[in-house]
Every structure is written in structure tokens, then in C-alpha cells.
Amino acid sequence: MQFGIFSIGDISPDPTTGHTQSEAERISNIIKVARRADEVGLDVFALGEHHNPPFVPSSPPALLAHIAALTERIILSTAVTLITTNDPVKIAEDYAMVQHVSKGRLDLMLGRGNTVPVYPWFGKDIRKGVPLALENYNLLHRLWREDVVDWEGQFRTPLQGFTSTPRPLDDVPPFVWHGSIRSPETAEQAAYYGNGFFANHILAPNFHFKPIVELYRRRYEHYGHGTAEQAIVGLGGMAFIAKRSQDAVNTYRPYFEHHPVFRGMKLEDYMAATPLTVGSPQEVIDKVLTFQEGFGDYQRQLFAVDAGGLPVEMALEQVELLGTEVVPVLREEMAARRKPGVPDAPTHSSLVKAKYGDAEPRRPRPNPNRGDNLSGTSPYQDSDPAVEADFPAAF
């Protein structure tokens, strides 16, 4: 079972002080939160992708690569990468690069996103959102698994003899989760490929996403990847923790009441009706254990802990409490309740082991006829003396 945090990277005023972080502050603070998560032994740090204010993570590959250089063991992920408005060729290249620099500590969560204006900003039609998502991932899947790709689809120019570079580390692509809250097509696609399915599990009533998770489980079994109970499921959640329950409620109340999403709602009512938990470590533990009861055994639990204008010191304290007082107990309790045969979430090392056993990973062989952008020659062919004569050796 993997536990971690995800950040949407919003910039909101602190309702208790009036301070609003600058973009530079917010980016720096996201990095601090990710490093603390690594230090306290959490398994995953995931970063959203947004291209509109008040959010700053418009380039997750850049930020995750930087975090990779500053951390030791934590898995880096996205929450989510926009499979609709990003070109799948660029996704393949960017995240293969992050996979290399992180030494395999990367997976990817793909989704359509929920911001309507983003589509035209990137020349896409929101009315084609679902077919865009399906086609783009189908191409991404091939780009990471085939050294040479010939492809033609509806939404982008064809590819002929194309090799995405760098090739995935050890010729094993990053594991992919498909994130969705309402699209059965996404659940179907995740099941078809044997990928993971992630329900964000926030901003909705308790177990609201259970039907789509169950659909994914049934289809996962249908496609022969394992039993429904062995399907790879992840859930989000929101928590605010303090040693004493009432301290947590008193501290978090202004952040809840002044947040545009929650304005006009009563904190206690919202906690009772949704996965949000504000309270002591034991109360968070008890609430998360109900997730396992309702959704069945699952592989990844992520918490949002730094949104809504929380100062970085408070966000870091949340990470500390999760890593030292909540997650160790959850690991033990959920493992004891876990049914036999339920797999762990795939990691790079487990995927390499499953593919090669004790053998050496395969070295990819890109298209030898593609050539380079300068001379047209290929590194897999002998050099042409005529070409060499036209270019100085130092060039």
C-alpha cells in the first residue's frame, strides 16, 4: 500500500493573515513539502497540472525533475497530466526524461482535467474531450513500447517511422494511472490496458465514486489481467490533522469557510458527508479505514494537505503528522485486513522484474533510417566520408 500527498498548486490568500504567496513562494513551498514527504517516509508525491490562475504548476515535468534531484526515495507522479491538451509525443518524451533523471521514481496519472477554457488555449475542442483522451493515450502507450511507430489518427498529424526519445528507462515505461470522476470510457481504457484507476475522492459525498471504481474492477477482470479484487485502485482524500481534535477543527475552520468551493457550508456537516477529515491522527486513521471497507483493498492513498492558503509551516506539519502518526498505523491496519492475493502498486523495480526476471533489460533499437537533424546520418550506420568532409571534426 502506497501513501502520499498531492498538491494542486493553488495560490489562495491566508484568511487568518491576509498574506497571499507569490508564484515564486508557492513553487518554493511545493518543493519544501515534497522534500518533507520524502524525509518522513511517505511513498508518493503527486503534482497537478494547471494553466490558469490561481494555480502555478503549468510544467509538472520541470518541477518534478527538480524535486527528483532533491529527494532520495519518494515516487513522483502527476495528479493529473492533461492527456487531452498535451501532445502525446511530448508527454512521452518529457516523462521518459523525468523517469531517467529520477532513476525510475516516476509514474503518471492521466486525466481530462476540469477547466473548460484550457481546451481552446491549446487548440483543442472540449466537445471532443473523451475521444481526444482515448486516442492520445492509445498513441502514448505505443510510443513507450515500440521503438518505431507508424501511426495515423483523428486529432494530430500522422507519424512515420517515429522514435520517441529518450526511450523509457530499462525499456520499461512508467506505470500509468487513469484519473476520472465521471467517465466510464476512462475506466474502460484503464481496464483494457491493465493500468491503474484513480478516483480523486474529494468534493463529493462519501463513496460517490464507488460505482465507477467497481466498473473498472469488473472490466479489469474481463480483460484477463486478474480478478476484480486484484485491480490497481488509487484514492484521493483531504485531511487536516492536529494532536487534539478540537485544535484541528478550530485551526482549519477559517481556511474551510473562506475557500470559494466550501463557502456557505458548515465544516462539521461537510466532514460527516464527505471524505474530508479534520481531527486527531486517530480520527484520520478511522476515516481512511472506512475507505477500505467501502472500496475494497486498494493500492494508493493520496492526501491533499497544502491547499486553500495554508502557510507552508502548517503544510509541513501536516506532512510530518501523516508520516509519523497516521501512515504507520494505516500500513499495519490495512495490511492486516488485506485479502490474500491483492497486489501492491507497481513500481519501476517490480515492473522490470516482471518483464526480465534476472536477465538484463533490453536495449531499444530506434529506426536506423530516421537520421539526425544535422547530417541525416544515423548513429546506427557507418558514417559517410563525404558528409564528414563537409563538417569540421570539432563541429
Any idea of the CA torsion for 311, 317, 318, 324, to the nearest 10 degrees? Answer: 170
Express each pLDDT in 3-20 by its tens digit.
999 999 999 999 999 999
Q: What is the pLDDT of residue 364?
A: 87
Do residues 106 and 99 touch, judged by C-beta distance below 8 A? yes
Residue 348 grid coordinates: 519501476
Confidence of residue 263 (pLDDT cuts 50, 70, 90): confident
Do residues 160 and 215 touch, judged by C-beta distance below 8 A? no
Span 18-25, average pLDDT: 97
Rounded to an integer, what distance in angstroms lies between the CA atom of residue 108 and that of residue 173?
10
In this predicted structure, the answer to whether residue 387 has a pLDDT above a threshold of 60 is: no
Q: What is the pLDDT of residue 155?
A: 95
Express each pLDDT in 105-164 by its tens digit.
999 999 997 777 899 999 999 999 999 999 999 999 999 999 999 999 999 999 999 999
The mean pLDDT of the chain is: 93
Q: What is the pLDDT of residue 113?
A: 79
Q: Which residues contact 115 (CB under 8 A, 6 or more apart)?
A: 50, 51, 52
Q: Which residues contact 193 (CB under 8 A, 6 or more apart)?
A: 141, 176
Span 307-318, average pLDDT: 97
Do residues 202 and 275 touch, judged by C-beta distance below 8 A? yes
Q: Which of 128, 134, 136, 143 is nearest to 190 (CA)?
A: 134
Express each pLDDT in 271-282 by its tens digit.
999 999 999 999
Span 258-283, average pLDDT: 95
Q: What is the pLDDT of residue 117?
A: 86
Span 27-39, average pLDDT: 98
Q: What is the pLDDT of residue 374?
A: 53
Do residues 31 and 330 touch, judged by C-beta distance below 8 A? no
Name all contacts of 332-335 with Cβ < 8 Å and 24+ positions apart: 333/285, 333/289, 334/1, 334/289, 334/292, 334/297, 335/1
In this predicted structure, the answer to whether residue 371 has a pLDDT above a threshold of 90 is: no
Map out the domains of the chain with their CATH numbers. 2-364 (3.20.20.30), 368-395 (no CATH)
In this predicted structure, the answer to whether residue 234 has a pLDDT above a threshold of 70 is: yes
